[in-house]
Structure 1
Amino acid sequence: MTTHAARTQLALKHAESEAEILACFNVMRELRPNLASAESFLAQVQRMQTRGYRLLAALEDDVPIALAGYRDKEMLIHGHFIYVDDLVTTANHRGQKLGERLLQFIFELAKTQHYSRVILDTGLGNALAQRFYYRMGMLATGMHFVYEAGIKLELGS
């Protein structure tokens, strides 16, 4: 059994190649259990990358253990900002401040690249995540409303 102190140092790296993205599938599936397969995940991430999506991985021994998916956006209400689509840490690595490390990376990127803010959504009932975001200096400034258009899309299509 490896102790935490004996583990190699944590690295943050963007997953860009097919192999790097595929290595993130099991971690992302903890947040998005509706993902159908590793192959459809890869195809979807690659499509999203053409629209600015970046997948940042926290790696331990070159194995992803936490992820942050984010993108560059611009809106009249917010200006030029970073939107965090996904933030997840594997169940057996929670409590090690990995989400904090990933968000701090994104916050620093926002500062150095002159973005107006960092925005993300979380469920109304997700009190643990809400407390975490408050601790990270984020504020709840609105509610996210959704209209279901009745079109059923398969993930990965």
Structure 2
Amino acid sequence: MTFNLQDYVPSVLDLADTALRPLDSRHDLKIAFPVMQQLRPHLTSEADFMSRIERMRAGGYRLVGAFESSALVALTGYRLQENLIYGPFLYVDDLITDEAQRGGQWGSRLLRALERLARASGCARLVLDTGLANARAQRFYFREGLYTGALRFQKQFDTP
């Protein structure tokens, strides 16, 4: 199956888990902000978060939330990409479970949904980054069947 990196939005059926759904509306972003802020504390305002998401959506970024009853308990941000190294792949930008809900398998469920989405979209792999010092996340990813595939190098620039 081919995919359009800019326009593809999964349906609920793609996710195959009734507790998960795409987060598309402004209301969805408002309820996502406090959870995302636990992972990304540099996001200091809801308005900043919402404007960043809108810009990132132009590049194919999408959010999926996990709900228990009507409460958002976890979320993931991802995008379908293609490069000359991997071909088509699904990149996981963000994966976070609300601190009070950790241990409830929400991260595992979100990763399984993303794997199904990646496979259905013709991707050969799912890719994510984590900090070298983030041993807890690394253990979780290993348990979930993700393995180290690269070492990323970067150069940080001062920005005004």
TM-score range, shorter chain: 0.7 to 0.9
Provide the residue aligned with 1:49 in structure 2. Answer: 57
The CA distance in 1 between the partners of 2:71 and 2:99, in whole Å, is 14
The CA distance in 1 between the partners of 2:133 and 2:150, in whole Å, is 15
Show the 5 A alignment for 1:74-113: 74-113=82-121
Provide the residue aligned with 1:155 in structure 2. Answer: none
The Cα of 1:150 is off from its aligned counterpart by 2.0
Supply the AA of the counterpart residue of 2:57. Q
What per-residue deviation string (whole Å, max 9, x for no partner) do you get for residues 51-90 of structure 1? Answer: 1001010012222110110001111011110000000001
Secondary structure at the aligned position of 2:35 is classed as helix
TM-score, length of structure 2 as denominator length:
0.86
Residue pair 1:10, 1:60 contacting (<8 A) in 2 also: no
The CA distance in 2 between the partners of 1:123 and 1:149, in whole Å, is 18
The Cα of 1:10 is off from its aligned counterpart by 6.6
Give the gaps of 5 or more residues in structure 1: 1-8, 153-157
The CA distance in 1 between the partners of 2:31 and 2:47, in whole Å, is 11
TM-score, length of structure 1 as denominator length:
0.88
Provide the residue aligned with 1:16 in structure 2. Answer: 24
Secondary structure at the aligned position of 1:51 is classed as coil
Residue pair 1:11, 1:59 contacting (<8 A) in 2 also: yes
Q: Provide the aligned length of Structure 1 versus Structure 2.
A: 144
The percentage of counterpart residues that share the same residue type is 42
Provide the residue aligned with 2:8 in structure 1. Answer: none
User: Does 2:156 match 1:145?
Assistant: no
Show the 5 A alignment for 1:30-69: 30-69=38-77
Supply the AA of the counterpart residue of 1:121. D
Name which of structure 1's ranges 10-19 and 79-88 shifts more when overlaid on structure 2: 10-19
Q: Which runs of 4+ in 1 moved over 6 A?
A: none
Residue pair 1:12, 1:56 contacting (<8 A) in 2 also: yes
Give the gaps of 5 or more residues in structure 2: 1-16
